[in-house]
Every structure is written in C-alpha cells, then in structure tokens.
Amino acid sequence: TPTRYEAESSPATCDGSIDSNHSGYSGSGFCNTDNTTGAAAQFTVNAAASGTATLEIRYANGGSSGRPAAVTVNGSSAQSLSFSTTGAWNNWATATLTVPVNSGSNTIRLAATGSDGLPNIDYLDVTTSDGGGTTTG
Ligand code: GCU
Ligand code: CA
C-alpha cells in the first residue's frame, strides 16, 4: 500500500495557495500553484531503502491544454511529464511515474515548465520497493 503525502500537509510546500474550492480532493485541500513557470509543489518522502519509488500524483487540470512539469528528486532531474487536461477543476486524475530514491528522506519536487503553472495538486502516493533486502558484508 502506498504512503500518501497530502500537498497541504507540512513539510510539503506549495508555490501558491492551499485551496478547497473545487470538490473531490483528499484531505483538507489541494495545492493551487501560481500560474507561472517554475511554480512548484514539493514533498518530503521517506523510503526504507534506496531503489525506485512509484509516484501517483493526483491532480486536476481544468484548463484547455496540458501543463508540463519537471520532476526532480533530491535536486536531480528525474523525469518530465505533461499533466493532461481533466476537463474540469473538480475532475481529478492520477499521473504515475517511477523515480529513483535514496534510503531515508527524499525531496520530490514538481515544477511547472510552462507559464500556466502546475495543475492543481491533491496528493502524492508513494510506493517504495523495500525489496526484502539483500544483506551484504
Ligand atoms: C482557476 C481555478 C484554480 C486553478 C487555476 C489555474 O482559477 O479555480 O483552481 O488553479 O484556474 O488555471 O491554474
Ligand atoms: Ca493555478
């Protein structure tokens, strides 16, 4: 089962406002970033072991075009993607990607690469492969 990190819950940060005016979100709200290039939502994610993590990003994009973003993990570029339109701000969808993580705390940052900013971000669900562990040494 994934661990859920709500966009409105510290230590997550949102370059914009935490809003609750579009229904269907989890928790107490969602991150509405400023509509500007570079606007970001950032999460602090724990992993039991280094390896890969599956990220499920719940978002709504009621705009008429996709919103591109760059994903960085611990400051390193991991992936770029475009959050496609969901047709309305209260229609939520999930984007899934896989990124590398370190053991312990990881900073996962979604930053808009287009001038519309990010879509509204509800949460990040993270599944890490703790792998059952190989013992070395
Ligand atoms: C509308 C909507 C916001 C959204 C914004 C946007 O203002 O109510 O929730 O963030 O559009 O285009 O990003
Ligand atoms: Ca916005």
Q: What is the pLDDT of residues 22-64, one digit of tens each?
A: 999 999 999 999 999 999 999 999 999 999 999 999 999 999 9
ipTM surpasses cut 0.85: yes
* Ligand 1 binding pocket mutation candidate from 21, 89, 92, 115 (most atoms within 8 A of CB): 89
Determine the 3-state secondary structure of 137 from DSSP: coil
Check residue 28 and report its DSSP letter.
T
Average of per-residue pLDDT values in the chain: 95
Check residue 37 and report its DSSP letter.
T
Strand-pair partners of 121: 31, 59
Check residue 7 and report its DSSP letter.
T
Q: Determine contact, residues 121/41, Cβ cutoff 8 Å.
A: yes
Specify the pLDDT at position 43.
98
The pLDDT tens digits for 95-114 are: 999 999 999 999 999 999 99
Distance 32 CA to ligand 1 centre (A): 7
pLDDT above 90 for 73: yes
The CB density around residue 123, as the number of other CB atoms within 10 Å, is 26
